[in-house]
Amino acid sequence: MLNMVKNRCGIAESVKVYDADIRLYIKDCLADMAASGVPEGIIKSEDNEAAITAVTLYVKAYLGNDRTDTEKYLKLYRDKVFRLSLEEGGI
């Protein structure tokens, strides 16, 4: 999932400086999704595009020093998580 999220954030796979932070954000995001009621099957799926989109939005909200768009990405993330929480069981 790391490389997919990096790609969606516009970060080349060869750039490793953000990897530790992104891994922590992915872990935190997946825990948040579980606490928000997203079915486990969606969270654990490595190829669920909707879940990857949610994780990407979460990472974009927190990665880097520019906080001007944090609220925008968090709202998009929350909306996506809400829709995912309504899904049945996963894939």
- Gap between the Cα atoms of 31 and 17, Å rounded: 23
**In the chain, where are the structural domains located?**
2-85
pLDDT tens for each residue of 14-25:
999 999 999 999
pLDDT tens for each residue of 37-90:
999 999 998 889 999 999 999 999 999 877 788 999 999 999 999 999 998 765
Residue 42 in tokens:
């969606």
Whether residue 24 contacts residue 31, with contact meaning beta carbons closer than 8 Å, is answered with: no
- Gap between the Cα atoms of 90 and 43, Å rounded: 8
- What does pTM read for this prediction? 0.90
